[in-house]
Chain A
């Protein structure tokens, strides 16, 4: 008797849920936190989809590789172009079905599988009050006295760290090893992830930190602090783009498609700047939130396609490791 009541309870409960289908979105941990873009996006999409958007967090690529064909994901959001190659190799993804022509990226985007939703560039952030004349180029950074101390992230554990070595590779190519040797005495330390580095910088331990061109925006718009600036280099900056992909075997194909078009919508694009502190992928500059268009951004953008990025990663990491291990 007890059991049948229990079973009835379970059945009614599940049928209540069945009325609103669930869209499972895999995202990075930072993405779904209270202070990330996740909650705003969830609310925005649920208003139009009559569904329940559920995030599931973790390391995206390792998780997809582990779960493989059995993945419960419908959508995967937050894959940077430096890892999309590995994600693509799982053959789990379907074409995104959106018009790449609607993108407003500073580079041309032709990928039909992974759809960019935001971007930024690697940059060194400095504090105006303690550094009067920031370097205007990578060469100038190398020429600075060794008591200028910067903090970077490990390319083996952090995507921004990986972007830095690709940046150096894109600017200096064959000469990268020499560049790392010149940079070595200026590197205070290397941290596991972006947040530890940034913490060292805001604590005043380092003069400059490897971060993004959009980092000053947080200080400007959230803290009214206009002293943190990105040093813009004439050689150009490495382009970092985050993408979203649709799982081919999804049991919610309509919802997944609806989500992909939601990503391109003005609603989604306008929350990206202040929710993720980065630049929207499909929104003309004049529609950016107030003040964002004035953010100093590099004129020249350096970018490795995922094939090129995958091809050089291993040797670039080894060059970096060897130079900094001396």
Chain B
């Protein structure tokens, strides 16, 4: 087996993984230091746990199920502006939740565009508030991620496979069974686990669109235990529950992933003969693309229009916060790549995909708990405010890690399987393997992962609010402050700046990855 040849050093990967585990453990140690008594969970907490799992399952299932036809259509069709559309469809995922929520409500809310149209047609209004609202919002956020992961998977299939299928006269049905089904089996479980965990820690959106306390999630219960009751024992216990639910789901998902590869190819442009057969397929594909585009882009337009109105009222300080957010995002990307690349290399070459669960740790523990745990540890020795930005950068990188791994691991695994033997024969290993083979082959994935991290750090409020340094603030924090002092128009303007900054960073890095990339 080519795999058994030791081509990349696993030590940096294991070190990076250890770093993540230690960072999470330290947070629990910090909290553990201050727990007086462990108290059990009451009926309200159990209700929260049940609701959290239900809405996360539904959201993850729907996001994945809807992503399949859309991603398939996008992979099969070639049209003007396709690449831009794929990038734009990714935008909802990188939006800060509160901005996205206002955008969604402008379309699907009680006085939103959608209900206005229904009213004009004389149809009864629909209500977004309830479980359906929570799921709608989570699908809005996560459908883009699922689409992107799938499109990337499809693009990774060597063009020769499709060419051969066409030569052999394999029809769409058979092609689905032979190529696309294995592909879906390889990508969907991981995507499902990732989205499940994201929805698990949702809180403000779930509460607001869920219509009230019925939609209490574990994260809200943690927040309440910490802020209102100051019951660190209960908060810590709930965090553990959250961690175990996330870990369990991830373990199941990654066990389902078959380790198959499509092998290497000649990097020709993919041509999908199957997509050109039959008008029905074409119409269906176009319909899927249109519906998804309308669903994902309309709320963005709402944010754009209200933001443009507020832009003139945006005070100068917001721009300096945007600058802070920008370099925090860039540093987060550097930290992320420093951790994610060696980890992805280790996971991909060890052939044990389950280790990817470590990446999910950072996402499944509540940021409030990470922040608090570290605060307790730092406080006796230093002023936490001095550490605020450093901690924010570290937490941002940790939150983005599972996404980066999900994006990088399959590509690096394929590269090792396809080029490992040749590299061994040529005596390429270690750092040279990274430089000459892995980094080049995975450039689109690295660009995508870096862009995602940058955008997520720009949009995330993170833990900075906990550490309390009033002089250094990030853009989301400044936006919340505007909202908190009645300046809703200016806040909408700040939200637009935030959206453009996040999207711009994402676009630049993603473009860098795809430009001149060896594998298109």
Q: Which residues of A contact B (CB under 8 A)?
A: 26, 29-30, 32-36, 38, 55-59, 61-63, 65-67, 70, 72, 86, 149, 154, 156-157, 162, 187-196, 198-200, 202-206, 215, 218-219, 222, 277, 318, 320-321, 324-325
Contacts and interface: CB of A to CB of B under 8 A. Distances in A.
A35 B207 contact: no
Contact of B208 (A30, A61, A72, A192): A192
Contacts of B488: 198-199, 202-203
A325 to B, nearest CB: 5
Nearest to A321: B213
The 6 A-B residue pairs with the shortest CB-CB distance, nearest first, are A58-B468, A195-B483, A33-B481, A35-B485, A156-B224, A190-B212
Contacts of A206: 110
In this complex, the member of A58, A162, A198 whose beta carbon has the largest number of chain B beta carbons within 10 angstroms is A58
A191 B227 contact: no
A304 B491 CA distance: 35
In this complex, the member of B47, B214, B226 whose beta carbon has the largest number of chain A beta carbons within 10 angstroms is B214
A324 B213 contact: yes
A58 B227 CA distance: 11
Given A56-B470, A154-B207, A205-B109, A196 B380 contact: no
Contacts of A30: 481, 484-485
Contacts of B470: 29, 32-33, 38, 55-57
Contact of A156 (B209, B228, B465, B487): B228
Nearest to B130: A189
A196 to B, nearest CB: 6
A35 B376 contact: no
Interface of B: 34, 44, 47, 98, 101-102, 105-106, 109-112, 129, 203-204, 207-214, 216, 220, 223-224, 226-228, 230, 315, 317, 372, 375-376, 379-380, 383, 385, 465-470, 477-478, 480-488, 491
Contacts of B98: 196
A157 B224 contact: yes
Nearest to A276: B485
Given A198-B488, A324-B212, A34 B47 contact: no
Contacts of B212: 154, 187, 189-190, 324-325
B227 to A, nearest CB: 6
A316 B207 CA distance: 19
Interface of B: prevailing SS: helix
A203 B484 contact: no
Contacts of A156: 220, 223-224, 228
A189 B129 contact: yes
B110 A205 contact: yes
B111 A66 contact: no
Contact of B480 (A32, A157, A195): A195
B211 A189 contact: yes
Contact of B484 (A33, A56, A66): A33
A67 B214 contact: no
Nearest to B106: A203
Contact of B315 (A34, A55, A154, A190): A34
Contact of A218 (B102, B477, B486): B486
A156 B235 CA distance: 13
A277 B486 contact: yes
Contact of A35 (B213, B220, B227, B481): B481
Contacts of A57: 465, 468-470
Nearest to A190: B212
Given A29-B481, A190-B207, A325-B213, 13 more contacts: A33-B470, A33-B482, A62-B372, A154-B213, A187-B211, A189-B209, A189-B210, A190-B212, A192-B207, A195-B484, A198-B486, A203-B109, A277-B485
A149 B453 CA distance: 39
Nearest to A206: B110
A175 B223 CA distance: 29
8 contacts: A26-B468, A29-B468, A35-B485, A57-B465, A154-B213, A188-B110, A189-B129, A321-B216
Contacts of A198: 483, 486, 488
A136 B482 CA distance: 31
B379 A67 contact: yes
A86 to B, nearest CB: 7
Given A222-B486, A277-B486, A205 B230 contact: no
Given A205-B109, A205-B110, A66 B372 contact: yes
In this complex, the member of A32, A61, A219 whose beta carbon has the largest number of chain B beta carbons within 10 angstroms is A32
A292 to B, nearest CB: 16
B484 to A, nearest CB: 4
A6 to B, nearest CB: 19
Contacts of B109: 203, 205
Contact of B383 (A55, A72, A205): A72
Nearest to B221: A156
Given A65-B230, A72-B383, A191 B207 contact: yes
Contacts of B469: 56-57
A149 B110 contact: yes
Contacts of B204: 191-192, 196
Nearest to A86: B230
A285 to B, nearest CB: 23
A296 B466 CA distance: 37
B465 A62 contact: no
Contacts of B481: 29-30, 33-36
A64 B139 CA distance: 39
A58 B111 contact: no
Contacts of A154: 207, 212-213, 220
Contacts of B477: 29
A320 B213 contact: yes
Contact of A199 (B111, B207, B478, B491): B491
Nearest to B209: A189
Contacts of B34: 66
B207 A205 contact: no
A188 B109 CA distance: 10
Contacts of A277: 485-486
Nearest to B379: A67
Given A154-B213, A189-B212, A62 B491 contact: no
A59 B210 CA distance: 26
A66 B379 contact: yes
B486 A188 contact: no
A199 B483 contact: yes
A280 B72 CA distance: 63
B23 to A, nearest CB: 19
A103 to B, nearest CB: 25
Contacts of A204: 111
A262 to B, nearest CB: 19
Nearest to B224: A156
Contacts of A205: 105, 109-112
A26 B467 CA distance: 12
A198 B483 CA distance: 8
A35 B501 CA distance: 23
A57 B129 CA distance: 33
A320 B210 CA distance: 16
Contacts of B372: 62, 66
A156 B222 CA distance: 10
B44 A318 contact: yes
Nearest to B485: A35
A157 B223 contact: yes
Contact of B379 (A38, A70, A162, A192): A70
A215 B485 CA distance: 10
